[in-house]
Amino acid sequence: MDALLTKILMTLGSVASIGFGIWHFFVPRIWNWYSYIDRSAPELVLAVRAINVFFSLSLVLFGLMNLLMVYGQNANRYSVLIVLCATCALWAARVVMQLVYPQGSMNPALQYGMLLAFILVLGCYSASLVMVLQDKRPS
């Protein structure tokens, strides 16, 4: 039962990560990010764009890696643990950032909705990590 629950939780977390990653590729255009940057600082636009692409791609790749780990035939316990630990660290950092420097603060529903979504994704991955750690079957 734990293996099935782990698979379900990792799938939910992965789908959410991939969804956030894909969505985030479009965030600068949706929220008109570059209009807030002085036109005399084009290098800042390039830097923000590069960071956003790196972040968005990281979310998509971490989600895909977790899916490959949970559904792949050649994944072993150690590799699953490494990827899950990295993913939990990524989402824990996102939860902390939302608590310390909240985004969406112009609308409490958005601000706390984002926080809830980030906590849920972290919860899916963290619970999976705990279950994989407790699994005593040989890998």
57-100 pLDDT, tens digit per residue, is 999 999 999 999 999 999 999 999 999 999 999 999 999 999 99
pTM to 2 decimal places: 0.91
- List CB contacts of 10: < 8 A, sequence separation 6 or more: 66, 67, 69, 70, 84, 124, 125, 128
The share of the chain scoring above pLDDT 90, in percent, equals 88
Residue 122 has pLDDT above 60, yes or no: yes
pLDDT of residue 1: 64
Residue 59's nearest CA partner among 99, 27, 16 is 16
Domain count, the chain: 1
* Residues 58/26, Cβ–Cβ less than 8 Å: no
pLDDT of residue 105: 85
Q: Cα–Cα distance between 139 and 22 in angstroms, integer?
A: 33
Q: List pLDDT tens digits, range 15-34.
A: 999 999 999 999 999 989 99
Is 139 inside any structural domain? no
What domain range includes position 64? 2-134
Is 21 inside any structural domain? yes
Q: How many helices (H) and strands (E) does the chain have?
A: 4, 0
Residue 51 has pLDDT above 90, yes or no: yes
Instruction: Label residue 136 by pLDDT band (50, 70, 90).
Output: confident
Is 64 inside any structural domain? yes
* Residues 23/60, Cβ–Cβ less than 8 Å: no
Is 20 inside any structural domain? yes
- List CB contacts of 61: < 8 A, sequence separation 6 or more: 21
pLDDT of residue 139: 55
The residue-averaged pLDDT of 92-117 equals: 95
Where b means 16+ CB within 10 Å and e means fewer, 28-38 reads beeeeeeeeee
For 119, the token pair is 């906590």
Is 67 inside any structural domain? yes
